[in-house]
Structure 1
Amino acid sequence: MALSKNKFSGNQSDRSRKIRISKEPDERRQEIVETALEMFSEKGYENTTIQDIAERMNVSPGLCYRYFKSKTEIFAATSEYYAIQAVEQMRIPISQDIPAIEKLNLVINRMFDFSVNHHEFESRYNEGSSIRAILLDDVAYQWMTVMIPIIEQGMRENTFSCSNAPRTAQFLISGLIHTFHAEMPAENAKEYMKSFFDFTQDMLVRVLGIKVD
């Protein structure tokens, strides 16, 4: 049944802003996570409040609290989402029938492209050790799922000289990710990422025992 315009006489625009579209719980939760990612990228974790997130969504803060008990919980969900998105960009070449060294190059290039495109979010997380740890743990876990199969393939092809793929992947990823974020400047993050890309390539050659022509 159509709504009568007469019922919205006077301050119609103000009233219309209060009308909420009903969404499924999973959809609403995801909306909170994606909005929080925007806010954390723009303002940083410490300077973002749940009120800010709610206002960006045009909902009440109480709705956010239905899905998350605290801002820390929101950040944890946001960092997991961010890490999954990053790895999905890297996972694309894994199924391709190409040598491991080519897969590795594709993955590293896509990882840095993703980081550069999201440098606002990446550069914020020198803020607090506990908050940064949440992000780095999620990114490291997701990246491991991509790197281990590539290293195992390289070992089978005798192009990588290492004996234990999971340990090698963990050593590489943990070291690179923590160094990457620990040294990232608040300004000129893109330039820093480009220089770190060269460092990463050198580390991969050394740790994986890749022969350079």
Structure 2
Amino acid sequence: MRQAELIDAAEELFLAAGYQNTMIQDIVKKVGVAQGTFYYYFASKDAVLEAIFTKHFQNMLAEIKSYHQNHIPALEQLNLFINLFYKLSYSGKPGLLAKILYKEKQGLLINQLWRKTQMISIPSLIPILERCNQEGVTHVQHMEETLAFFLGIIASLLEASSPLIHGHESNPEVVSRKIGIAEKMLDTLFSAPNGSIRFQAVDLPFPAEEECSGMEKNDQQTI
């Protein structure tokens, strides 16, 4: 399917050359189609980027859901969702693309994509929080507003722990302290007892060396 081919080609080029340095003609050349075919499916380069993020977050949420088991306590299920969401957002291709956009100072695009992430993610988390409320481990009244704040905390944590955003390796001690702060904030946000939310429940992600070194080489080539 041409649409899928265009999405895959655009993603490969964005990761290799950066978002700013990739033109629509580069994408269609890679697929071997005319520009009219691109515009049949996508209104702009931003639109194909949004399609890439949508694809990956839908796949990510499907993976998260595959871990869900209703026989485990609701709080454990909530922690599992939070940890996997954080880990997959950081180490997967959406995380790598986001880091490229941060480095290119694409603030408006990042905000647009994060709003899309909210639309995709919030419906998957609401049933888990409802279970937590029923079991008395959280006391959330305004689900969608609360989860929007939750995603904001996760976004801040991802940004704080990314060496590709700050231009240097993340200090594990600093990241650990920020994770502790995020845990306390989420306890308060979900009206849960102190210590309820634990990022340590799943191994915390850090970028693979080959991913970082590859992107650094691309940066040097474009300077």
Q: Deviations over 1:68-123 (max 9, x none)?
A: 23212222222222322232222223453221211112112211221213332121
Normalization by structure 2: what TM-score? 0.69
- Identify the match of residue 179 of structure 1 among 148, 152, 156: 156
CA distance change for structure 1 residues 87 and 200 in 2, over 3 Å: closer, same or farther? Answer: farther
1:116 equivalenced with 2:94 (yes/no) = no
Match of 2:209 in 1: none
1:206 equivalenced with 2:206 (yes/no) = no
Greater Rg over alpha carbons, structure: 1
Match of 1:153 in 2: 131
1:160 shift after superposition = 0.8
Q: Does 121-130 or 197-206 show the bigger shift?
A: 197-206
The aligned runs of 1:1-213 (5 Å cut-off) are 27-114=1-88, 115-118=90-93, 119-126=95-102, 127-173=105-151, 175-180=152-157, 183=160, 184=162, 185=165, 187=167, 195=176, 197-211=179-193, 212=195
RMSD: 2.9
For 2:85 and 2:16, the matched residues in 1 are separated by: 21
Identity %: 23
Contact persistence 2:157–2:182 (CA under 8 A): no
Contact persistence 1:94–1:150 (CA under 8 A): no
CA distance change for structure 1 residues 191 and 79 in 2, over 3 Å: closer, same or farther? Answer: farther
Count of matched residue pairs:
186
Q: Deviations over 1:27-75 (max 9, x none)?
A: 2112211222222233332121112222332444443233223212222
Contact persistence 2:28–2:34 (CA under 8 A): yes
Give the letter for the 2:141 counterpart.
S
Consecutive unaligned residues in structure 2, runs of 5 or more: 197-223
Give the letter for the 1:169 counterpart.
L
Consecutive unaligned residues in structure 1, runs of 5 or more: 1-26
Q: Deviations over 1:171-210 (max 9, x none)?
A: 222x225524665515458878x65655443322222132
CA distance change for structure 1 residues 189 and 139 in 2, over 3 Å: closer, same or farther? Answer: farther
Normalization by structure 1: what TM-score? 0.72
Q: Does 180-189 or 120-129 show the bigger shift?
A: 180-189
Contact persistence 1:103–1:150 (CA under 8 A): yes
Higher RCO by CA contacts (8 Å cutoff, separation 6 or greater): 2
For 1:121 and 1:160, the matched residues in 2 are separated by: 34
CA distance change for structure 1 residues 80 and 129 in 2, over 3 Å: closer, same or farther? Answer: same
Give the letter for the 1:142 counterpart.
I
For 2:28 and 2:191, the matched residues in 1 are separated by: 50
